Amino acid sequence: MKGNKTLMTVAMVSMALAANAAQIKVETGDVSLIMDGEPGGALNLCYFGEKLANTSEFAYAWHITQPDTQDEYGRQLYPAYGGRFFLNPALKLTHADGVMTTELVYRSHEQKAIDANRTETVVHLQDKIYDARVDLRFVAYNDEDVITQSVIFSHGEKGEVTVENIASSYITLKAHDYYLTHFHGTWAREMQLTEEKLTPGVKVVESKKGVRTAQSDNSAFLLSLDAPASEYSGDVYAGALAWTGNYKMQFEVDEAGLLHIVGGINPFASAISLSAGEELVTPEMVLTYSNNGRSEVTHNLHDWARRYNLAHGDEVRPVVLNSWEGAYFDFDEKVITDMIDDAAAFGVEMFVLDDGWFGNKFPRNGDNAGLGDWQVNKKKLPQGIGYLADYAVSKGMKFGIWIEPEMVNPDSELARRHPEWIVQSGKRDLLPMRNQHLLDLSNPEVQDFVFETFDNVLKMSPNISYVKWDANRHADNVGSTYLAADEQGRFWYDYICGLYNVYERIRAKYPDVLIQLCSSGGGRVDFGALKYHDEFWASDNTNALDRLKIQYSENIFFPAMATAAHVSTSPNHQTGMMLPLKFRFDVAMMGRLGMELQPKQLEGDERTFALNAIELYKELRPVIQLGDLYRIDSPYDEDGYCSDVYVSKDRREAVVFAFSTTYHNRTQSYDIKLHGLDPAKNYLLKEVNTPDGGSWYPGNGKVYSGEFLMKAGLSLPIGGAFTSMVLHLTEQ
């Protein structure tokens, strides 16, 4: 009886507290994030999921904790280390007087409409004793069902406060089971998908590389409740940290069965001391939710990115020929003009001159010299970049160029002129990677240099309309000659802030230039950098079979229109694999189509096929780049089949890509049911991108209802290794 009486008392007290609490709603069209906080009390997360029509019941819903264990198993929205909180906290401070604990309480909040689609909510928290303030900033995107969260820390203490850990978000969920989808890899094998059931304890996904932080792991994740993630059913949450530097994502299942998701800047070697009045701003955590599986999560993020987090997200991307695999460093002016001639003949719309065009005293004839010396190599290109850009335009194309402005070779004029600009750890030896060092972007002078590099390259010709920005090493053994001895912990944070400052200045001056985000391939595939770019280079691995998995994973979060996907030669330069040209084109057409080869190598029937495929892509790309992506079967499945459907926003047109990646029984067909069509519409089906322009598929030229295609489906006659089909559906 005594225990029951205690429970009843706790319930009554909790109900009374909740009745006096302020309810804070962050809502989109279909998602609700509900908080409550009483002034002087903890801020709690009440709910995050499908939108609720009535939230008044939370006024008498009591919390699961008892007063003598307060917060240990609770749902604090942004818990700091202090009190009885024993899990991984969102915030860890050391106050000016040396006290290492912090207890945040709710103070107030305000909401305002940014525009018709966006609402900003700022919740103010403060330590119970110290003048240490945390502002939680949420932006709700109504139409896209995306919520972003970031944090601003400041204080008014006498002396410096050291921020040892500060997360962008802290979300608590409750279910029987949790299934985490995360991504790992390496150079040429980025973004490999893994799904695992979380067990009690902590799962950590992190990077401490400073640069190329998405190369081996990615901060984007999916979290499915009670069952593995399904495409079209079930509760699925998605998160992605908009940050290009070190990050740490923690997924902790506590002893009460709650899952705590903590994400933000990696605290490794990153303690930052702030004086009174200074602010520390975290990157945004991008969040979304669907009770209709991960496909809807993808639509939310793609729509949001195209509208708010991608340069020129409403414009189709051009077909590109990049010179790298066709010429590498071994070229002169004639080699490039010949490639431009051939590219124009194929209907390519953008020619990009890759690495090797610069350096005189230290000519860039390999990766061991010239980085940092951004003058045109007069021996290779005596008439300069302007001549090549004008030549491309005269052939009906646009012109782009490669740069790597954050890096420097030891053999360069820049390294000799400014050795203090190189990231270095005191008197320790510099550790080259790919024969190059990293410039210190925490230094404003280096930021100016990087901006001026971009600016001066663009000034070489008004006909440069595209820049491929590369970054081919990560940060190690770090230190800064610019930062004071007691500020070295700021390096990781200040480097990325310096990079973003340069991006901001570039976009202010060159809003119309297309910029590709490259970092040894997919080393910077994150929303933090992507918002300043038009596209990303998914991987240096152009082998189509490998690209199926890489692009599949990246396109869960990042739009197909931003995914640069190039057709390269066979055998492939990275893997040695030989694949049919049609298979290579079909894979590349699922993103922003390009070519990465010497066009002269395509002769006879292959040349004809490539010409027709490029023209076909131009017809299909509005659907592929601006439509909705529906995944049918995954390349990670073991049956050797995979397929995707791209559907226009008005549901009047669709493009189906289907692949057989291994040999199947000759009597076996690939049966698929489509998604995303209008069941009431009728669609003409046409097989396209065939070697001879025809089709022996029995369904070719037939009209099907959307209902039939989605419920009964199609049987596709592909079963040989590396065979594929592309179907174009148009409303009749």
Active-site amino acid positions: 470, 540
In angstroms, the CA 187 to CA 540 distance is 7
Supply the angle between the helices 604-626 and 581-588 in degrees, to the nearest 10: 20
Two tokens, residue 402? 């490669």
Any alpha helices (H) in 510-580, and if so which ranges?
527-530, 544-557
Contact indicator for 354, 404 with CB cutoff of 8 Å: no
Scan for tokens 């322009």, then name that residue: 693
Structure tokens at 67: 């007063």
Backbone dihedral region of 693: left (phi > 0), alpha (psi from -120 to 50 degrees) or beta? left
What CA–CA distance (Å, rounded) separates 367 from 525?
23
The phi, psi pair for 319, rounded to 5°, reads -80, 130
Three-state secondary structure call for residue 364? coil
Cα separation, 277 vs 374, in Å, equals: 40
- Per DSSP, what are the bridge partners of residue 625? none
- In angstroms, the CA 266 to CA 576 distance is 38
CB–CB of 721/662 below 8 Å? yes
Distance between start and end Cα atoms, the chain: 73
The pair of structure tokens assigned to 272 is 């930052």
- Give the DSSP H/E element, type plus range, for residue 505: helix 491-509
For 472-485, the DSSP string reads -----S---SSS-G
The span from the CA of 420 to the CA of 717, in Å, is 63
Residue 536 corresponds to which tokens in the numbers above? 């990303």
Token pair belonging to 685: 């089906």
Residue type, 536: F
Could you give the 3-state DSSP secondary structure of residue 538?
A: coil
Strand pairing class (279-281; 192-197)? unpaired
What is the SS3 assignment for 40? coil
Q: How far apart are CA 417 and CA 423, in angstroms?
A: 15
Residue 726, phi then psi, degrees to nearest 5:
-125, 125
72 CB-contact burial (10 Å; exposed 0-12 / middle 13-18 / buried 19+):
middle
Structure tokens of 429? 């030896």
Of 589, 514, 519, which Cα lies nearest the Cα of 551?
A: 589
Q: Could you tell me which residues come within 8 angstroms of residue 444 by beta carbon, excluding any fewer than 6 positions away?
A: 482, 498
Q: 418: closest CA among 446, 451, 382, 385? A: 446
Query: b/e per residue, 285-311, with b = 16+ CB within 10 A?
Result: bbbbbbebbbbbbbbbbbbbbbebbbb
Instruction: Say if residues 592 and 562 touch (Cβ distance below 8 Å).
Output: yes
- DSSP class of residue 429 equals P
Beta bridge partners of 287: 147, 239
